[in-house]
Structure 1
């Protein structure tokens, strides 16, 4: 397994790797996170070296085996790989969902995409593209996950998962660049066509909300306003002190944009997968300030499934005050995935 332990410090370095017999040099800036996420009991932080030579942070929590724990052909618990969205990193899954799902018998891996969390930062204006992020996820799975996992993506991370799905079984590749999945979960995901439809609907139907969401996300207003951060990501019942902690983690763990949105939207929608037998759960939040009901419906129809909308939770379903509601829906779906 290609996992390497390490500590991120502030430094610039160069690495060389070979691509089709040509030496390629990559310059990168190691992230120095001033507001670190403190791991919970049973969690570990590793750094997976990508083919580029850059290191990707992974928070790992293996399944907790008890006396009554049974794992056989009738009780299979697939590993879970989590992909965050913009302004987040691996820590957003580690707070509640990694302990929950590991307790339920699943090995859990939460990734921090390049330029996010404590992952290395490429020398570019943005962290990557839909394609490079998906390949990084695929490389981690290929080298470190022994059996087909369930891939879970939140917000723009959901779009990365959708691109991954579109490449499964693609015979253009001589090697298995996108390892097999046993299922996928899209949590408050940006729809296959991107976020432009969401923005235009807000402009015409909710102009005030459109201004708020644009200021909050595009202008990073959530970083300086507790109330706006809460309205954007969380339920209004969440205590301000908790919102402030997450606000600090978001600010420090996303120092460069996840995508160039103009280039991203030009590459969308993601390719369709009409003959795919992969089981997909499309999960939305009733109080989502970012992804509206139409966006949720678009994603569900794209995969030919019915969306599940969780009541009384906001966009950051895995961090919200009622985080267990979405987790329980996913756990129920997982139990029916194999059995």
Structure 2
């Protein structure tokens, strides 16, 4: 087979270098070279990404990232600089701050390069802000109740497991409460589901407002809510937190001109040692159910709260063969 007329692929080094330079200049991906944390090269796409005045060359890369990202990026760069071995390419994400103050999410592929005896870090970067925002929406949809914005059962289980792992180390006790709203179905049946939805939203806001920022308030299902609170030496007692919850639900709810007074069945448990979270939820559910049954019996007059029979004085000769005045119910 005659290859005499095929073009040769070999090109002078200068032509290859020029082609690579044109490619780096025109590529839509941001390309940056770092040396000891400072930018020694940045293509046009990198300059356009941050829209800062002037070139990025000469700037400290840590001045460009969001303050929350500085410690992590500093450690990453130090690892690349100090490692004697050439590290394999690694991918990571970080937040950068543009000239207008807007924060953008950047994914970077980093690789170490030995150039003229100096260790430099090459970065190929792309803006993934839109993708990160979409992923955040998906994550929130999977872990939060769309009506109230509270954590759902999935996130509740995760929070409970985290608290169980911290119990005995970062916290002394964990309070778990389950609340079941009384009469919620009648609100839906009488005033409609729109009013019922408003009631659930107001309950969620009140519960969040009654508790601390680190406490978890979750919507378990329907009209059931679960509270998880880690307690330390300086924390409020379980009784105090339960009192705050009861007070939050005690005031009437105003719903489109309709006043609704609400009560709730409550089951609570204070844990001193880790337990299976599903077993904990089952236990507070049983406690809540027993509490509601007891309340129902009291409401029907079967077991009045604080019941003490009145002392009745009988006339002489009634009920006593010796004619003494007899006191009953003592």
| TM norm structure 2 | 0.22
- Where is the strand percentage greater, Structure 1 or Structure 2? 2
- Greater Rg, structure 1 or structure 2? 2
